[in-house]
Structure 1
Amino acid sequence: MLGTSSAVPTRHRNHNGYLLRWDGQGFLFDPGEGTQRQMVHAGARANDVHWLCVTHFHGDHCLGVPGIVQRIARDRVRHPVRAVFPASGAAYWRRLRHASVFADTDVISEHPVSGPLAAIGPLTARRLSHPVESYGYRVQEPPGRRMLPARLAAHGIRGPEVGELQRKGSVRGVTLEECSEPRPGQAVAFVMDTRLCDTVFELAHGADLLVIESTFLSGESALAKEYGHLTAYEAGVVAADAGARRLVLTHFSERYGFTDEPAFVAEVRRSYDGEVVLARDLMTVPVPRRQSHSAVK
């Protein structure tokens, strides 16, 4: 959690910035102003970034792009970096991408998204409800299978034969299905500025980790709706309906301090009884361990 404030940073909360480490790749979401410095504090490097994902082009979600791009160039990152952003904001992207004079890099490829749904590799983007075009993101691992030691032993399958069974699907007439169970792929959903809408629930469905804005408490619900934001109560409703395993609240209005955190939890608890994390800058939040197929049922 590189930054957890909303439009206005505070003494304790930087503008947005979220680095997801996922299967050897780094997804940097919404680098707001100061993200490059926050990465230094967090021990993260430009080489840790493989995806640069912008939900929309309000300043608190993108003003850190120039520093990140220039750091990628300065540190001579060699691997490809995919930049994903709303196609309607391409002009803003170009201004941020080339905001000042620097020795450029060609490792960054641009992937503008448009329409209600777009998919790029493990990343899915869905259109949200905000005064400007905004997208939520979901990172999804493909489903797999979990090997069951007791069944392997019962069939006398051990050593190199286990790998052969996984690769080929059968060994000595014993099938993979006989020695394993389905393993659902893990998923992380990232939902920033939006009103409550169907797409929010679709992004969050079955997520192991749901990182979601909760800009306001319910006392400001009219203001939240006007400006296209969620309340903590609505974030809890989403998490409960979607069956999210771990809920992370972030993007807090500057009107709230740490002493208001119990009120955010109380609103969430009106509908959601799972794990709740109130994000703070430089906090590390693990993705929950995989569940077995039987646990999912």
Structure 2
Amino acid sequence: MSMRELTVLGTASQTPTRQRNHNGYVLRWDDEVILFDPGEGSQRQLLHTTVTATDLTRICVTHFHGDHSLGLPGIIQRLSLDRVPHPVAVHFPAGGAEYFARLRHATSFHEAAELRPEPVDADGQRIALRGGHTLTARRLRHPIETYGYQLVEPDGCRMLPERLAAYGIAGPAVGELLRVGHLDVDGRRVRTDEVSEPRPGQRFAFVMDTGLCDAVYALAEHADLLVIESTFLDSETALAAEVGHLTAAQAARVAAESGVRRLVLTHFSQRYADPARFAAEAREHFTGDLVVAEDLGTVAVPPRRVPSPG
């Protein structure tokens, strides 16, 4: 059975606190297990979850500030220590290739796992995943080269058993109908759309350090689950703009205007001890499903959207 779920390893920003580890987020999406932005302590945080290093299929780094990437050496070495049997792709800004190389070989170790660096060098670059899914990277607005990521499942269809039965279609014939798009039954051609309904593909978006820009909205568009930084509260809007970050209110407005279903706020400045303040501010702008991320918490991708009648 497939699973689509986010595991949060850390929710801090530049400085960790006693309650918040540095960044780290694992998305389990069917056969893909993607680690986003492993900050310091990510390897240890994994030990407190159901995710193991062996589960990881790829790593995505938004940019090379320490709170988003200093956990890479430990994760990379753990892949080899555990002799992970499958290749693990790593996506990161191409302009930070030198930083990646340093982190990859920060200390001496026996490299036994197959790591595949796949740098991102273009806004809108698409990465093909299994099952026709795509991972798209978009350039964000931050003092250094930074990309957000959007995972999109292609639209499909759901076969309707009662309609299949009415035409006497069963067993291998269902698979043939899906492959070809039609099936001849008792002298009548039955099309797929006659015995199915649309199944909208799901979307996940990951937006870290950035000021407001078009790419934020493009990544968030119709996301079933949006994970987005909200480093500051609205009282620090000017500071947020100056250093290339978002406030909780801005993140919430992006979600509301982009049709997001479940919003996850994270990456909180150490100046705020009470996470409820982020929820209160976001609630003024977003009435949908809101989660203020907590270290070692899990957040499910919402169930599929129900197709509109007709």
TM band (smaller chain):
over 0.9
Question: 2 CA distance for matches of 1:158 and 1:78?
Answer: 38
1:270 aligns with one of 258, 281, 284: 284
2:139 aligns with one of 100, 119, 127: 127
Counterpart for residue 148 of structure 2:
136
Matches within 5 A, 1:1-297: 1-105=8-112, 107-121=114-128, 122-171=134-183, 172=185, 173-257=189-273, 260-294=274-308
Q: Deviations over 1:162-215 (max 9, x none)?
A: 223222222222111111122111110000000011000000001100000000
Match for 2:180: what amino acid? Answer: K
Question: 2 CA distance for matches of 1:155 and 1:231?
Answer: 55
Compute the RMSD of aligned alpha carbons: 1.3
- Structure 1's unaligned 5+ residue stretches are none
Equivalent residue of 2:106, what SS? coil
Equivalent residue of 1:233, what SS? helix
Question: 2 CA distance for matches of 1:98 and 1:262?
Answer: 40
Question: 2 CA distance for matches of 1:166 and 1:116?
Answer: 34
Q: Could you tell me the percent identity over the aligned residues?
A: 59
Equivalent residue of 2:118, what SS? strand
Point out the more displaced range, 190-199 or 42-51: 42-51
Question: 2 CA distance for matches of 1:25 and 1:76?
Answer: 18
CA contact (8 A) 2:84 2:113 kept: no
- Structure 2's unaligned 5+ residue stretches are 1-7, 129-133
Point out the more displaced range, 157-166 or 273-282: 157-166
- The number of aligned residues is 294
Point out the more displaced range, 174-183 or 279-288: 174-183
Q: Deviations over 1:241-282 (max 9, x none)?
A: 11011000000011112xx33321222122211000000010
Question: 2 CA distance for matches of 1:114 and 1:160?
Answer: 44
- TM-score by structure 2 length? 0.92
Question: 2 CA distance for matches of 1:152 and 1:70?
Answer: 52
Match for 1:147: what amino acid? Answer: M
